[in-house]
Amino acid sequence: MSNGGHISCVSCTYSRSKKGICDVFGIETSTGILCRSFRMPKQSHRAAREKWPIIRKLKPGVVYGIDNDAFNAGNPWPAYNVSPLTVGKRENGVVQDLFVGCLLGGAVGDALGAPIEFMSLSEIRSRFGKDGIKTYSEAYGRKGAITDDTQMTLFTAEGLLRAYCRDYHKGICHPPSVVYHAYVRWLNTQGEHPKGGFEGNKDGWLAQIPELYSRRAPGNSCLSALQGPEMGTIEKPANDSKGCGGVMRIAPVGLMWDDPQTVFDQGCEIAAITHGHPTGYLAAGCLASIIFFIISGQSIETSITETIPLLKAKRGHEECLQSIELALQLSNDSEPSPEVIERLGAGWIAEEALAISLYCSLVGDRDVPRGVLLAVNHSGDSDSTGAITGNILGATLGAGSIPAEWKQELELSVIIKEMANDLFLRFKNTSEWRNKYPGW
C-alpha cells in the first residue's frame, strides 16, 4: 500500500500521505484505511470495512451510500438505487427544467454583467442610458460572453458528477477532493498550474471544450489558492479570503444531494477549497441550501428562512446572517433601485454578493429579466451578482422563463444545458458516462 513514501489515503486516489499520516484526515493510514485496499483481494476488504466507523466519525459523509449488509455478505459493490432526483410532488420534466433554468439563468446573468463588471453606476448610465444595460453588450470580443463565474460553475458540476461516479464504483468518496481536481482542471484552462501539488489532468469531457480555455477576469483568491501545493479546507484554510468566488460557483451543489444539511455542509467545504474566511464559505453553503429548497418547491423567501437555522449553527455566521436579514428587510420596505442595492454593498465580497442576489431575486420574483437586470446595474461586481440572481430565479421559474434571444446568443449555451441535464440524471452506469465523468 506504500508507494515511494506516499500512501494513497481514503479520500481519493490523488491525496497522498507522508509518514503514514493522511493529509486530509490527519489520521494513521497504515492501519488499512486506504482506498487502494478496495482493489485488493476480498480478505483485505475486512480490514478496511472495520475502519469505516472511525472514518465516518472523523469525517461524516466520506463513506456513504454503501450497503453494509451487502458488503458483509461478500458483495462490496451492491447495486445503488440510482434514480434522477425527484423532489416534492413535481413531475420529473418540471424539475429538469428548473435544473436547466438554474444553470442557464446563472450564465445569462453572468453574460449581462460581463461588460459592466468594472463600471460605476454613473459610467453605466452614461453609456447605456438612465435605466442602465438592458441586454447583452460586447465583452471579451462577443455578445453573450460568459466569465469565470460560469466557467467555475461548470467545473463545480463536473466535479460533483465525477464524485458521484467515484462513489458508485468505489463505494468511497470525499466529494470536495474530487471537485478540487475539477477546479485544478479549470486552473489549467487559465494557463496556470499548482506549484508543487497535484498538476491536474485533462480527462473527462469538460476540459475538451476549447472555448473554456479563455481568461475572463478570474478572481485572485481562486487563482492563488489553486496554485498552492494543497487543497484548502475549513480546518486548514488556503487563505483568509471572503471574496465572492466561493458563492458565485456553488449553485450545482444545491442540485446534487437530497437533504439540506448535506447540501449546506458540502457547499461550505467546496467553497473553502479557495476561500478560507468563514463568511467566504458560509455564504456558499447558504446559496446551495437556498437552491435546494427552491428546487424542492419552496418559495424564494421560505428557502431563505429555512436556510437561516443551518447558517446560525455554524461558527462565524454573524456577518453573513446580518447581510441576509438586511436583504429580506429591504425587499419588504423599499422600491427596487440601484441605490437600494448599493446599501447592501458592492458584491465583491461573499456576504454582499449573496445579499444583493437575494434582494434582486425577491423583488424580481416572477420575472427573470427584471431580476437579473436589477442585479447587474450597479457599481459593484455585476457579473457575479447577475450570475447568482440568475441561478436563483432560473431555479425558481425554469429555463422557459429566460428570454429566447438571450439563450440563443449565450456563449456555450449547449454545453451549459447539457451539464444541467447531466446533473438531473446524476449517473448512468455506462462506459460512455464513466469516460465523461471519470471518478477522480
Interface residues with Mg ion (CB under 5 A) are 147-149, 383
* CB of residue 195 to Mg ion, shortest distance in Å: 24
CA distance 289 to 296: 11
CA distance 181 to 188: 11
* CB of residue 215 to Mg ion, shortest distance in Å: 11
Question: Judged by CB, which is closer to Mg ion: 37, or 382?
Answer: 382
Angle between helices 92-113 and 382-397 (to 10 degrees): 160
Question: Judged by CB, which is closer to Mg ion: 109, or 260?
Answer: 109
Question: Judged by CB, which is closer to Mg ion: 147, or 323?
Answer: 147
Q: Which of 198, 389, 210 is nearest to 291 (CA)?
A: 389
Q: Which of 283, 369, 353 is nearest to 318 (CA)?
A: 283
* CB of residue 217 to Mg ion, shortest distance in Å: 5
* CB of residue 147 to Mg ion, shortest distance in Å: 3
* CB of residue 359 to Mg ion, shortest distance in Å: 20
**Would you state the torsion angle of the CA atoms of residues 114, 116, 117, 119, taken in this order, to the nearest 10 degrees?**
170
Please give the full DSSP string across 294-315, using - where no structure is assigned: HHTT--HHHHHHHHHHHHHTST
Cβ(68)–Cβ(90) below 8 Å = no
CA distance 217 to 272: 20
Q: Which residues contact 385 (CB under 8 A, 6 or more apart)?
A: 109, 113, 347, 353, 356, 357, 360, 375, 376, 378
Question: Judged by CB, which is closer to Mg ion: 64, or 213?
Answer: 213
Question: Judged by CB, which is closer to Mg ion: 245, or 439?
Answer: 245
Distances (CA, A) of 131 to 31, 138, 370, 381, 382: 65, 18, 11, 18, 15
Question: Judged by CB, which is closer to Mg ion: 351, or 383?
Answer: 383
* CB of residue 274 to Mg ion, shortest distance in Å: 14
Question: Judged by CB, which is closer to Mg ion: 149, or 422?
Answer: 149
* CB of residue 150 to Mg ion, shortest distance in Å: 8
Strand partners, 139: 142
Question: Judged by CB, which is closer to Mg ion: 147, or 233?
Answer: 147
CB atoms within 10 A of CB 41: 7
* CB of residue 148 to Mg ion, shortest distance in Å: 4
Provide Rg for the chain, Cα atoms.
Answer: 21
Please give the full DSSP string across 378-420, using - where no structure is assigned: SSS-HHHHHHHHHHHHHHHH-GGGS-HHHHHHSTTHHHHHHHH
Output the CA angle 26-28-30, nearest 5 degrees. 145
Question: Judged by CB, which is closer to Mg ion: 147, or 296?
Answer: 147
Grid coordinates given for 188: 489549467
**Would you state the torsion angle of the CA atoms of residues 223, 183, 59, 258, taken in this order, to the nearest 10 degrees?**
130
* CB of residue 245 to Mg ion, shortest distance in Å: 9
Q: φ and ψ at 168, to 5 degrees?
A: -65, -45
* CB of residue 384 to Mg ion, shortest distance in Å: 6
Question: Judged by CB, which is closer to Mg ion: 115, or 159?
Answer: 115
* CB of residue 159 to Mg ion, shortest distance in Å: 19
| Nearest residue to Mg ion on Cβ basis | 147
Distances (CA, A) of 311 to 7, 186, 272: 36, 29, 15
Question: Judged by CB, which is closer to Mg ion: 16, or 249?
Answer: 249
